[in-house]
Amino acid sequence: MMIQNLLQLLQQQEGPFSQELNQYEDGRRRIEKSLKEKGGMEYYLISKKFIKEWKYYVDYDEEMDEFQKETRQKPNKINSDLIQEAKIFKYIPEDHIYNSTIRYLENEWDYEYVMKDVYENFKTNYQSIEPQIRVGFYNENLKKKQIFPNLARFTLIYWSPIDNKLQIVKAQVDHNSEIKAWTNLLRDTFQEMFKPRQIKNVRIWSPRHKTFKADLLIQQIQKTKQVDGDILSDNMMVFQIQSQRDNCLIVDFEMNDWQLSKFEKTMEYDYKLLIEKALQGCGKKFCEFPQCKQNNGYFELGLGEEDIQGICQVLIENEEVKWELICSKEKTITDNFQPFYQKEVNKDLVQELLKISNSLELFGISFVENFNKTQGIYKVDLENPEVNFKLIQDTANLLNQQKENLIQIIKNLFQKKVLDIEQLTNLNQLRALYLILQFRNCLNVILEEKTQIVLTIIRRLNQQQLTQLSKWFRKLDKSELKQLQQIIKNQIEQQINIQGNAPIRPLLEIDDIQRMKGLFELYSVIYKSNLRNPRIQASEFIINSIQYFYKMDADREEFTQFQMFNQKIWRNYSFTFCQYPWAMPIEFKYKLLYIECKVKQYDQRRRTFGFLPQYVSLTVERDNIIESAIKQLQQTSVSLKNPLKVQFVNEQGVDEGGPKREFFRLIMEKLVTPDYGMFIPKNNDTVFWFNPQSFEMPIYYSLIGKLLGLSLYNSVLLDVRFPTVLFKKLRGEKVKEEDMKELDMETYTGFQFLREQTDPKIIESLSLTFNATYKVWDENYYEDLKPNGFQIDVTIENREEYIRLYTDWYLNKLVQKQFELMRDGFKTVVDGDGIKLFSGEELQQLIIGLPTFDMKDLETSTKYDGYENNSEYIKYFWNLIHSLNVEMQKRFLFFCTGSDRIPVGGLKSMKFVIQKHGEDTEQLPSAHTCFNVLLLPQYKNKETLKEKLKISLDNAEGFGLM
């Protein structure tokens, strides 16, 4: 009886939705298991929005406040945001899995797939829209089953046996379906259409001329009942044939015999095709076929018709013609239009632009600086977009007053690309996008447009196109780029604010996720352009509101999304700002790194069946600190990611931070000192760099790497003057000539002098060769920058190569052995995805602190125990601190905290306390350095306070344990 009562009690505690939750989780496990098995299986696609709403509705915390429970609403219809009206292939039977009205899914996180019983349960309890079913096809190459909901679309040409005519139809298929699976489907589908005619089999032809539209291919086939192309292999996957959506394919039916046969092309046939294009062209303003008259330039070179015929003959014989790109004459409504290049008094410019916008390519060659109507086909410059910014500005001012026409221009340009799920396919189209983004007066309207046309196009750009856009943006001056950057930043901040105040949770709608993704991709283009040509401070790209995006536990929520993104766990993933770490505040990123460290510590304890926190415990001797540290760090079985505890031999005290900081100060001071020989001072003793002639044991460099990692994970700032370039190298960033400044300003300025010379004789007089020299402890060493470099003179022609090789030698090759040992030591402590969020410069700030500080920040953040913050005594104390020079202010910090380094976030981020420590006493001020507490007596007058504080600061050495 007792057991039955206990079971009833447990069931009551599980809540009303426990059965749904258990069934859902069980379904997830069965799906994971099925992916490891060979064969096909039907899965039901469920909208990610529904899953999120459902989880919020059923999986709530029992301790949730009543008002939070009352705000919960039943989830919306199951597939409400995966549906579109038109059915692509109307002939597929209604109940067939490919008769889908599902929209094109851009990302795997738009949906979740579930087992049939889970779907049935959802259908029973919630509103429903018919399920979207997909099949997982086994791919022999990948040796596992995959579920591919993304759809490819084609125009199919087929010879109908009913009316004996060529017909066309649109068809869609899973992107990663095998061709054999698709042909089986097509056979069943067309059999329904052609009853009672018997279709034995189906095969698919891919035409050789992939740019030809359906009407031209039909003309080809009608002439001979042959196909100029090849039959697709049954073992191919759909994605292997889809260069762009709506490509034409030819379906061939086997009835008694196959309807079509391969056209055996001849050289004479190909020759006629090529000659026609070379001599007459296609008449388009833009053409991708290299041999087209529009592109080949034969006549401009003065070649006659016979010469061109000979060239065409050679091209065909050598098989150098890209037949898949061959062009065709097509009449369009924009054939007689000219690019938009100048103001014409008698024309309505907006109406003219509306007409031109019907051709993406024509728009893309508009707004050209110094446009010349007689110059022939316009070639897009990869380095310079050649934009007439005055004309763009004037046009933008007009469009800003005619927003409906502006949106119509956007729709004319890009809506078909969006609906057909096509990327931009050439530089003219990409330039059209660039031009639209130059309408800065109208950019808010363009980016806020509800259907997200421009943002959708940006999301679909490939890496090469994104890089090209950033190249063109390099031509904007500072004010132009700043205006663009501010517009996009404001748009992002506006979206963060909207989502942060969402009634249920942020980024529930797929459209909201995609808008955020599109804005950040565009922001990223601007940021990378600025990297290539700096005009704006990198700090201005940081969006502080990111850390407040989630109302509670923002760092943990963001870290969870970051983990899911890295591990590709799409079912719970929405969006992570960590894809754009340069836009995130460094303090917030450090919180994510800290969480990652704690997660790894917990995982290790779980694997070793430990339950209590573990520590890296060191007991070190002050006089033998390096050897004792090396020995213990090598022998410890505890992961170095765990917190560090330090005990000095024969010294009392529990490490609450003070001994640890003292340990780092002493050991780094010994290791980095020039007397030790591992590092040498550079640039007037401002920084230390690797000694290329060091004879110290490799383990010492490895130890320094470990210490850098340990200091990072233990939040201890190191007093070590390593240059920024060292931390850039630790992060794997490419070092540049600019990085020489911090190490060797004399060499850097020498490079600038060498580059500025226009007289070859001056360079010759320098007597430079491809040989480098360096000095260690007044002894010179020489190395060649390339084989026999000492015999190769530096000239005006090869000086850039000399500068490049010298920079690489100085920063990389010369110190490669020493640096790699340090890097390997660092990686034994610091690994994972969190460290990837930081640039080299940010890593430097995390480990050695900020270069500047303001004591007013510390005053603002200080808490008091026994004093009032507005008392005359405390006001005088701070006035005294502010009057100190920088060196004495650093002594004050060291006296109070055990370190004069400034943490990330500045002094305002420090927890600092001033505690009253007696009255009218002769005792000096003291400090609990472990806790950042200053013990300050209340002296009888201000002069005594000033005198006692000076004595304490003059004698500030070591650390206090009280």
**Active centre residues (catalytic):** 930
Of 401, 385, 478, nearest in space to 437 by CA: 385
Which residues are CB-neighbours of 440 under 8 A, at least 6 positions away? 396, 480, 483, 484, 487
CA-CA distance, 850 to 401, in Å (whole number)? 48
**Which residue blocks in 533-673 are alpha helix, DSSP H?**
554-567, 586-607, 625-635, 658-672
Residue 508 token pair: 């529930």
CA-CA distance, 456 to 702, in Å (whole number)? 48
Alpha-carbon separation of residue 639 from 590, 596, 608, 635, 642 (angstroms) = 20, 14, 12, 11, 6
CA-CA distance, 897 to 874, in Å (whole number)? 19
The H helix count followed by the E strand count for the chain is 36, 21
Beta strands in 115-188 (DSSP E): 132-139, 144-147, 151-160, 165-174
β partners of residue 226? 261
Residue 258 token pair: 């196959």
Identity (one letter) of the amino acid at 112?
A: E
Beta strands in 871-944 (DSSP E): 913-919, 926-928, 933-938
The DSSP secondary-structure symbol of 154 reads: E
User: Which residue carries 């409504």 as its tokens?
Assistant: 333
Q: Are 397 and 441 in contact (CB under 8 A)?
A: yes
Alpha-carbon separation of residue 366 from 202, 250, 371, 582, 780 (angstroms) = 47, 37, 9, 34, 60
Identity (one letter) of the amino acid at 368?
A: V
CA-CA distance, 581 to 841, in Å (whole number)? 13
HEC string of 62-81 equals CCCCHHHHHCCCCCCCCCCC
Instruction: Give SS3 for 689.
Output: strand
Beta strands in 246-386 (DSSP E): 247-254, 261-262
CA-CA distance, 86 to 451, in Å (whole number)? 18
Mutual angle of helices 872-883 and 942-954, in 10-degree steps: 40
Which residues are CB-neighbours of 777 under 8 A, at least 6 positions away? 680
**Which residue blocks in 357-388 are alpha helix, DSSP H?**
360-364
Measured from the Cβ of residue 743, the count of other Cβ atoms closer than 10 Å reads: 20
CA-CA distance, 920 to 499, in Å (whole number)? 57
Measured from the Cβ of residue 95, the count of other Cβ atoms closer than 10 Å reads: 7
Measured from the Cβ of residue 921, the count of other Cβ atoms closer than 10 Å reads: 13
Q: What is the distance in angstroms between the CA of the first residue and the CA of the last residue of the chain?
A: 61
The DSSP secondary-structure symbol of 95 reads: T
Identity (one letter) of the amino acid at 444?
A: N
Q: Are 337 and 356 in contact (CB under 8 A)?
A: yes
Strands 913-919 and 111-114: unpaired
Note if the bond before 581 is cis, omega within 30 degrees: no
Instruction: List phi, psi (to 5°) of 919.
Output: -130, 150
DSSP string, 391-423: HHHHHHHHHHT-HHHHHHHHHHHHHHHHHTT--
HSE-up of 118 (CA within 13 Å, CB side)? 23
